[in-house]
Amino acid sequence: MESQSQEQNLSPSPFAVQDFYSELATRVSGYNAKLILDMALIEVGFDFTEVSAEEKKLNCDEAKNLCLELIKQGGPAFQVGKNLYHQIQ
């Protein structure tokens, strides 16, 4: 059962980093959205060397961790993180 849970967490989520940016940009300016998102990506240990951040598809674990980091930041990032986390579930 544990391996099934691990497989689910490694499966691709329907979200890319660009989706998080788009949601943030609806609540704050594009510049602030980029700053908030970059800070959250660094906190969760996103590897910027793989591909450009905008094109990166996230697996479920990565997407959930990014949502939780946005929730921790509070403010508009809290709402975005909360909404996307519920969509991932």
Q: Per-domain residue ranges for the chain?
A: 2-88
Q: CB of 86 within 8 A of CB of 52? A: no
| pLDDT at res. 2 | 46
pLDDT of residue 59: 85
> Among 18-27, 41-50, 51-60, 63-72, whose mean pLDDT is lowest?
51-60
Residues 17 and 53 sit within 8 Å (Cβ to Cβ) = yes
Q: Which two tokens stand for residue 61?
A: 């674990």
Question: Which stretches within 1-89 are classed as H helix?
Answer: 2-10, 17-25, 30-43, 60-73, 75-88
pLDDT confidence of 89, banded at 50, 70, 90? confident
* Helix, coil or strand: residue 34: helix
Q: List, for residues 52-63, the tens digit of each pLDDT value.
A: 656 678 888 989
d(C-alpha 83, C-alpha 85), whole Å: 5
Between the alpha carbon of residue 63 and those of residues 7, 14, 20, 29, the distances in Å are 15, 9, 9, 22
